[in-house]
Amino acid sequence: MQTNGAGFTTEELGGVLRQYNIAKIQQILPISAGNRASPKLILITDKEKYLLKRRPKGKDDALMVGFTHAVQSHLQKKDYPVAGLVPTRGNGPTALILNKRTYELFHFIEGVRCDGSPAEVIEAGRQLAIFHKDLADLESDWKPVRQTYHDSGSVRGHLRLIRSDKQLRPNGALESSHNLQKTADLLLTHYNHSSTTVNAMGFDSWDGQIIHGDWHPGNLLFADHRMICVLDFDSVKTAPPVTDVANGVLQFSIVGVRPNPADWPAYLDQAKMTQFLEGYREAGFLEDVMLRSLPDLMIEIMIAEAVLPIAATGYFGHHSGLEFLQMIHRKCDWIEENRTLLLDAIFH
């Protein structure tokens, strides 16, 4: 039997909550946003609110979870705005493993999503730089593999799967689409060109450190134009910080018009790009060669984020895989055609 339609059974939830020493629960509310494989609940007690999360399979490895918790604890000790993990009873571990599933309980933070204003975009860039600075001295016995969206064999493999004659759609039908094949080929060309360009700049020699791995507006909470919490540490990894910056620049400058990606414009919001980098420069530093790599890294990450779900299902969320990839291709073309314009904004 499900509880509140949130993916937890009554028995499961009861077993989990018995492991924590929290006040009597007054109300339980489901959260529908985020990864469906990782259900979440808001627990309202007479003293405090909490967020309960069950980690998805594949992201519940004990070493990886322990590492992400060490990252959050390290940031909390430096007064960086994180939610804070709740230990199990008797000041036990913050990761609860029960019946071969992994659970986390967080203090709930009241905040709002980024409103896109210059003040909040600048703040998002500034806080990413502080995030990098605060984690630069974290030592851990276990370190994640240095692997990103850059020059990824997995990304190329998914593109080849998409362009094959065996593109599987959710209804089980096999689709052979000339347009899909053509778009996948064009994206592979873009991806290979950008990977080669960044490698020629010396990417493999750039120092790596712990990065967030998924810095975008949906993972940040604000109050009065200040970031009060960063969310979702499931993608933390070791990589050159510029890969985080490229993702942030892209996520805050990309322009989308709902509901149909076919209607999304190709251009990026250069003002927001400049604002994000202005914020990053307030607290951090990137060498000029790394800044020059941003257009190509943005091309790589756009492609990388799109291809995995489309290769698996034929869709990106509720969007047609073909229309979404064609939109990505238009944006990649625009970045390539406006490289000089973007570099002028980056070095503004």
Please state the domain extents for the chain.
Answer: 2-107, 118-346
The β-bridge partners of 230 are 82, 220
State whether the Cα torsion 306-312-316-319 is positive or negative.
positive
CA separation for the pair 42, 49 (Å, rounded)? 7
The count of other CB atoms within 10 Å of the CB of residue 145 is 8
The matching CATH number, chosen from 3.40.1410.10, 3.90.1200.10, 1.20.1630.10, 3.40.50.300, for 118-346 is 3.90.1200.10
Nearest to 246 by CA among 190, 196, 290: 290
Three-state DSSP state, 116: coil
Cα–chain center distance at 113: 15
Does the structure show a pLDDT above 50 at 172?
no
CATH topology for 2-107?
Phosphorylase Kinase; domain 1 (3.30.200)
Q: How confident is the model at residue 34 (pLDDT cuts 50, 70, 90)?
A: low
pLDDT of residue 171: 47
- Percent of the chain past pLDDT 90, that is, above it, reads 79
- pLDDT reported for residue 165: 56
For residue 242, the model assigns a pLDDT of 98
pTM passes above 0.85: yes
Q: What is the rounded CA–CA span in Å between residue 136 and residue 49?
A: 31
Residue 222 has φ and ψ, to the nearest 5°, of: -125, 155
Percent of the chain with pLDDT over 70: 94
What mean pLDDT is reported for the chain?
91
pLDDT digits (tens, 9 = 90+) for 99-129: 999 999 999 999 999 999 999 999 999 999 9
